[in-house]
Structure 1
Amino acid sequence: MRRIRIFTAIATATALLAAGCGTADDSATPAPGGSGGALTPIKLQLQWFYQAQFGGYIAAVDQGFYKEQGLDVQLLEGGVDIVPQTVLAQGKADYAVAWVPKALASREQGAGITDVGQIFGRSGTYQVVWKDSGIKTAADLKGKKVGNWGFGNEYELFAGMTKAGLDPGKDVTLVQQQFDMQALLKKEIDAAQAMSYNEYAQLLEAKNPQTGKLYTADDFSIIDWKSEGSSMLQDAVWANTEKLNDPAYQQQTVKFLTATIKGWAFCRDNAEKCRDLVVAKGSKLGKSHQLWQMNETNKLIWPAAGGIGVIDDAAWKQTVDISMTTKNQTGDTVLTKAPEGLAYTNDYINQAITAAKAAGVDVNGTSFQPATVTLTEGGA
């Protein structure tokens, strides 16, 4: 979901989207925000393959929340070579889900997109090590083999090491990590990048050959970039900046966000049901893995003190600062300057929150308590 090349040119996704962007006949459909019985077709480009990371959108479709708003939403599955913000900027989708730093890099390259809903209020990125490695903080990574996915997913790691006084290009041995945890399990690397809702669970779904039982959290230590002060904003809903000048698109955006809020609130209160919806959608991951992912994803959203989707100025500033100042191993930064123009706005999410609250939706989730999920071998 986050494994998209950050410096990919805006034209990259054009050919790749040809097979995935089919839509209903638009000719008989009213303009966005228009009245009438027909539903307005909407395409939402996801950041990765179907999984619980996108449970709220899947639920909003399944439970009819988008239809309540007069929208017929088609979810476009992501993939390795699909850049959601590029798809949006090229007019192949109406909205897109993307990590903030990667989307801002695309903006700097010319993509006209705006963050209109910061669904994930917290980062879910970890660096995971064996408990007996003695590695507890970013400073302890000095001289170690450090795995990371690259493609712009490494900046929290690099920022954390830089903050700890390490030079990511000199003080550690960087290893290109596959999108799994095999290198750590085989002890080919000392630290592995992982998302709390995905790869970390893969470790706990693996069998310890010495005991014949599954590994547990006691076997590993986690460096959480939220604790290290180098976390960055991740999954957000992005809209077309130019279209936001159109009152009809503005209204459509509020409706889309209103239904999206309902979808995520539904998944907060019905995690197992949402897990089943994700599995039925065709996820390649198993039921226990998806329930873990749904639970961990909810932790990144709830509680939402200011309301789900509201962009926190301090978190935004930290993301931008890291994007401009943290260098990767080749000396490049995510951004060369501060974002210009309408990089984000809370105008539409605040209107959507008001509408959702009027419909009886809990938009803050202050009483949310994560569940305890039991994983099975392979996440089945």
Structure 2
Amino acid sequence: MRRFRIFTSIAAASTLLLAACGTADQDKTAPAASGGALTPIKLQLQWFYQAQFAGYIAAVDQGFYKEQGLDVQLLEGGVDIVPQTVLAQGKADYAVAWVPKALASREQGAQITDVGQIFARSGTYQVAWKDSGITSPAQFKGKKIGNWGFGNEFELFAGMTKSGIDPGKDVTLVQQQFDMQALLKHEIDAAQAMSYNEYAQLLEAKNPATGKLYTPDDFSIIDWKQNGSAMLQDAVWANTAKLSDPNYQAQTVKFLLGTIKGWAYCRDNPEKCRDLVVAKGSKLGKSHQLWQMNEVNKLIWPAAGGIGVVDDAAWKQTVDISQTTKNQTGDTVLKKAPEGQAYTNDYINQAITQAKAAGIDVNGTSFQPETVTLEAGGA
């Protein structure tokens, strides 16, 4: 999803690691429907195939990229793949990455620019058992608090700091695995979870006392969007240096237009996109992927300014937290405000204009989430 080893002192190590992690080569050209040649494009994803990336998968499957003359190859992510580093090293043309992690990479020298802020809202939760009485970060004092680390922890740390909790002294921080077993086994008091993934894993687990699946009534959710410590997440990043090339500029608009169509398709056809993700080889099954598709849509739609447009206030909040919130070792995400072209709305606005002309709803004002029934184990 977004667990990548990139932050302050480990950023350089990640760069070295990625230098050894090549990506599959691709033919220079491919036949277009019109008889011409498609431009080969590589998009590095953050994590393994799942509905978090359904819009890109759909844009490939439905031919939205091909309409723009692009032959897009999706590069699956993984535990030791840092998308923004792959992009900066020229091994991909675009990458999907969380904003604070990508900004940390920029501070370390990666020449990358946010050209499409696809997720307008954060999907990070901290989840506790309902009977624990924990309903806010102010109640974390003296508790065992799970987090993934690797730069995923700063919304949690910002929330604690705002509530007067010192993350380095007032809680016991537990390195959480990329699942919810520690919470289910009562080994920690509150666990980090994404609304579209790990939280669903709780609701796919059976309560041994009843033999039935857990329900939302069994848990308390702390949603960082509610207390002002949320940070921007999935964005499309481009190569900053190449953005000076008119051809790459035009290609970026085309890529974003295909991407907009892909996400609009998944907004309007969540079950079809669920099926595309499962067919792509997702690790969890159909009910989990439909839940994830539904929750991801909530992070994108409605998009008041148009899908992918960077909101200045949300960007400022992300940068402020990145500069001021310290983790347990006293490190911040950023040492100073981002310099240069950290983001631009130029290309996404051009893509939005073209999408509107093609009759695509880029705002999703009427979007209504579905009610999804989860099955045991996400089947």
Q: Does TM, scored on the shorter chain, surpass 0.5?
A: yes
User: Match for residue 24 of structure 2?
Assistant: 21
| Pairs within 5 Å for 1:1-380 | 1-7=1-7, 8-9=11-12, 10-16=15-21, 18=22, 20-24=23-27, 26=28, 37-380=36-379
1:206 alignment partner, SS class: coil
Instruction: Give 3-state SS (helix, strand or coil) of 2:278's partner.
Output: helix
In 2: Cα distance, 1:306 partner to 1:313 partner: 11
Deviations 1:212-240 (A, max 9, x none): 00000000000000001100000000000
Cα distance in 2 between the residues matched to 1:99 and 1:134: 31
Residues 136-171 of structure 1 deviation map (CA, whole Å, 9 limit, x = unaligned): 111111111000000000000000000001100001
Shift of 1:77: 0.1
Q: Judge conservation of contact 1:307–1:353 (CA < 8 Å) in 2.
A: yes
Q: Residue 361 of structure 2: SS of its match in structure 1? A: coil
Alpha-carbon distance between aligned partners in 1 of 2:120 and 2:300, rounded to the nearest angstrom: 5
Q: Deviations over 1:229-285 (max 9, x none)?
A: 100000000000000000000000000000000000000000000000000001111
Q: Give me the whole-angstrom Cα distance separating, in 1, the residues matched to 2:137 and 2:228.
A: 11
Structure 1 position 373, deviation (Å): 0.1
Provide runs of 4+ in structure 1 moved above 3 Å. Answer: none
Mapped contact 1:11–1:86 kept (Cα < 8 A): no
1:14 deviates by: 1.8
Provide Cα deviations, 1:314-358, integer angstroms capped at 9, x if missing partner: 000000000000000000000000000000000000000001111
The answer to which of 173-182 and 6-15 deviates more is 6-15
Contact 1:6 1:334 in 2 (8 A): no
Instruction: Provide the aligned length of Structure 1 versus Structure 2.
Output: 372
Residue 193 of structure 1 deviates from its aligned partner by 0.1
Shift of 1:374: 0.1
Give the aligned residue type for 2:81: I
Distance in structure 1 (CA, Å) of the matches to 2:286 and 2:35: 40
Checking the alignment, whether the CA contact within 8 Å between 2:68 and 2:258 is kept in structure 1 is yes
User: 1:49 is matched by which residue type in structure 2?
Assistant: F
Instruction: Return the alpha-carbon distance in structure 2 between the equivalents of residues 122 and 210 of structure 1.
Output: 36
Shift of 1:29: 7.2
Q: Which amino acid is the alignment partner of residue 229 of structure 1?
A: G
Matched to 1:301, the amino acid is I
Deviations 1:175-228 (A, max 9, x none): 000000000000000000000000000000000000000000000000000001
Q: Distance in 1 between matches of 2:24 and 2:320?
A: 35
For structure 1, the residue ranges without an aligned partner over 5 or more in a row are: none
Give the Cα–Cα distance (whole angstroms) in 1 for the partners of residues 141 and 221 of structure 2. Answer: 16
- 2:305 counterpart SS class: coil
* 8 Å Cα contact 2:45/2:53 also seen in 1: yes
Q: Which amino acid aligns with 2:157?
A: F
Question: For 2:151 and 2:48, how far apart are their aligned partners in 1?
Answer: 18
Shift of 1:36: 7.8
Q: Tell me, yes or no, if the aligned pair for 2:40 and 2:72 is still in contact at 8 Å.
A: yes
Structure 2 distance, partners of 1:300, 1:121, is 6
Q: Alpha-carbon deviation of 1:22? A: 2.2
**CA-based RMSD:** 1.2
Secondary structure at 2:128 match in 1: strand
Q: Distance in 1 between matches of 2:227 and 2:371?
A: 25
Aligned-partner Cα distance in 1 for 2:35–2:214: 56
Q: What is the one-letter code of the residue matched to 2:24?
A: C
Contact kept? 2:30, 2:71, Cα under 8 Å = no
AA partner of residue 59 (structure 2) = A
How does the TM-score come out when normalised to structure 2? 0.97
CA distance in 1 between counterparts of 2:35 and 2:126 reads 51
Measure the CA separation in 2 of the matches of 1:21 and 1:104. 26
Identity %: 85
What letter is aligned with 1:336? Answer: K
